[in-house]
Amino acid sequence: MFRQKLINLCRSSSLLINLNHSPLNLWGQARRLSFLKPSNQLKTKRFVIIDPFNLSFQVLIEDIYSNQSDVPQLLEAKQWLQKALEYNIHNGKRNRGNALLTTFRHFCPEIDDDENALTKVCLLAWCVELLQSIFLIYDDIMDNSTTRRGQLCWYRNKDVGMIALNDGLMIQSTIYFILKKYFSSSPNYIQLVDLFNSVTFQTTLGQCLDLLSSSLDFSKFTEDRYDAIVKYKTGYYSFSLPIRLALYLANITDQELHSQSEKILLEIGQFFQVQDDYLDCFGDPKFTGKIGTDIEDGKCSWLVVKALKLADPGQRSIIEKNYGIKSEESVDAVKQIYNNLNLKNKFRSYENAKFNEITSLIEQMKIDTESSSLKAILFEILKTIHERQK
């Protein structure tokens, strides 16, 4: 029945996407998402009907317009907010939202038979994606970036500029509007709101540490500093947030289980970021889809931290003279030091050791029905990122 409703909704909303001539719109490229059951996606020769996660974005947009709908003077602002959302979410991978959905489905598989409940879960997943978009908008401004996901950064558009700062605030407010509308009657509403608040604060602290490291004060390029940046800037919102939201939504509130999962997810987050740093320098652009710029941007990355720790005075001098310089010669000079220090092999050693460490942490979790299910999810996340090439 739900499947037929989805078909009817797609037809009535003209949400059939022509794969050969797909226009730029809020639905993004039609593709199968990893959390979907095959029956939830209907294919014809040239068209794909998009899944409930994408469809629920339209519900979010409609909710924005329904809020204070009796005030016509706000229509232009709401249209602008819709434009900002579509632009900044369109090309994202949606890994965080998908992680929430996958986890919740694992604990509550019957969700696929309840259209209203599935929509609510999808909207919570979109709230995670909205938070991600806020961080990216602000990060691009602070880094003076030009492009993001194959298009101009939002603030770089001629009609946007520093309006983007207010857009971030509007998007943040939208998160709490959605939470209140759909989850205020939930027994774990306070936990959902508190988790968004605390993760936002932790992420801004991590961003602050990262920005304060951009002055190329190499005395700050330490393992302790790097670990803190990764943990607070990336780990909490990218890995801990979506999984713990799913647990609360499934009414799994055991604080020991939440604490254990957060500890492991933060370790996975660090593992992921170290991989990212390595691939930025040594990854194949054919797989990664981008050319790394950490060296010329002067980033406090795992590679430079490790190099500074291992370098002799002469090698350290070369790094300090060339790191953060936007020239091919300087980048090559730093990479040569990386090669001389055999950082590729040291990364492989780190990767294997970290994988074994996290595996051990997961295996040590307490044994009961809920933790057994969570262990399976954590193992799947770890397996997904282990030895990745992009």
Residue 269 and residue 238 in contact, taking contact as beta carbons nearer than 8 Å: yes
Backbone angles phi, psi at 255, to 5 degrees: -70, -30
Residue 181 and residue 126 in contact, taking contact as beta carbons nearer than 8 Å: no
Segments forming the whole domain that contains residue 314: 201-390
Better pLDDT: 43 or 194: 194
Would residue 282 count as lying in a domain? yes
Would residue 232 count as lying in a domain? yes
Element holding 319 (H helix, E strand): helix 313-322
Would residue 318 count as lying in a domain? yes
The CA distance from 27 to 29, in Å, is: 7
Cα separation of the two ends of the chain: 39
Number of domains in the chain: 1
- Asked whether residue 162 carries a pLDDT value surpassing 50, the answer given is yes
Residue 95 and residue 213 in contact, taking contact as beta carbons nearer than 8 Å: no
State residue 320's pLDDT score.
Answer: 96
Nearest in space to 300 (alpha carbons), one of 280, 282, 317: 280
Would residue 84 count as lying in a domain? no
State residue 223's pLDDT score.
Answer: 96
> What confidence category does residue 7 fall into, taking pLDDT thresholds of 50, 70 and 90?
very low
Would residue 309 count as lying in a domain? yes
What is the pTM (predicted TM-score) of this model?
0.83
pLDDT in tens, 219-271: 999 999 999 999 999 999 999 999 999 999 999 999 999 999 999 999 999 99
How many other CB atoms are there within 10 angstroms of residue 204's CB atom?
A: 14
Would residue 359 count as lying in a domain? yes
Would residue 70 count as lying in a domain? no
Tokens of 63: 């909710």
Would residue 39 count as lying in a domain? no
pLDDT in tens, 268-317: 999 999 999 999 999 877 766 667 789 998 999 999 999 999 999 999 99
CATH value at residue 296: 1.10.600.10
